[in-house]
Amino acid sequence: LAKVLRQLLEREGWDVVVAPPPGSTGLEQTLRRNFSLILLDEDFGNGFDIISLLRSTQRFNRTPVVMLVSSTENTRRALDLGE
């Protein structure tokens, strides 16, 4: 699904960056950029940890995040972290 979304977004002219997994130095480097929107998958490393990290920083605490989840329980958890 992530690959298809990437192709669709790029086709529409969006600049898409695929970040490396959490805990790697690549994620820190990626987060030095500015984003209009962040698209996460709950299975990417731990998408919930990434939302917590983003919301704890002033730079990204207002950036919209869309998270792909697989269950109602995880939807609630993602929404709670996003507030």
The pLDDT value given to residue 12: 93
How much is the mean pLDDT over the chain? 80
CB atoms within 10 A of CB 73: 9
36 — pLDDT class (breaks 50, 70, 90): confident
How many residues are there in the chain? 83
Please state, in angstroms and rounded to a whole number, the distance separating the CA atoms of residues 72 and 75: 5
Over the Cα atoms of the chain, what is R_g? Answer: 13
More confident residue, 56 or 45: 56
Please state, in angstroms and rounded to a whole number, the distance separating the CA atoms of residues 13 and 58: 27
Residue 68, classed as helix, strand or coil, is strand
